[in-house]
Amino acid sequence: MRVFSAAAVMLMFGGSAMAADPPKAVPAVSGTYTYTWIESCFNTNGTLAGVSHTTGTVAFNTTTAMASLSGFTAQGEPPVLAPISGTAAYSNTKTTITVDGQAYDVFYGKVAKGVATSLTYIAVVNGDDGAKCSDQAQLVAQ
């Protein structure tokens, strides 16, 4: 995998490698979205601790501030596909989305009638046994 430095990003795409300006108002994250999640975890010595992929739908209820996921996850060695579901509290600001107490940096796509039609978010989180994980999701409204 090729990793680009911030300087390379600036040369390739022009301007700053920093995040885009946040929206003027906080978009609602509401309704049902298709969902793709990738988690890559690394041990403290840099070796791969594990990777998992999840896809499905997630329904966000602004009245209850709860999100409900239903889908499939692939993980393990060799990978095994298994159903997954769950519900967690969520909230969002112009620059973050918090799901089940974990905050992520968020980028919103087009906003229609105050609701984000797509979003992507990412964070580095603590994994099992001291591993560090990169968690990233992409959501598109159905």
26-85 per-position pLDDT tens digit: 999 999 999 999 999 999 999 999 999 999 999 999 999 999 999 999 987 888 999 999
Cβ contact 118:108 at 8 Å: yes
- pLDDT reported for residue 88: 98
- pLDDT reported for residue 131: 95
Q: Where are the domains of the chain?
A: 23-141
Cβ contact 65:90 at 8 Å: yes
Tell me which residue of 103, 141, 97 sits closest to 125, measured CA to CA. Answer: 103
Q: What is the pTM of this model?
A: 0.83
Tell me which residue of 105, 111, 136, 128 sits closest to 20, measured CA to CA. Answer: 105
**pLDDT tier at 14 (50, 70, 90 boundaries)?**
very low
**pLDDT tier at 24 (50, 70, 90 boundaries)?**
confident
Spelled out in words, what is the top-level CATH class assigned to the domain 23-141?
Answer: mainly beta
- pLDDT reported for residue 20: 64
- pLDDT reported for residue 19: 54
Rounded to whole angstroms, what are the CA distances from 2 to 8, 54, 59, 94, 122? 12, 24, 34, 30, 19
More confident position, 81 or 4: 81
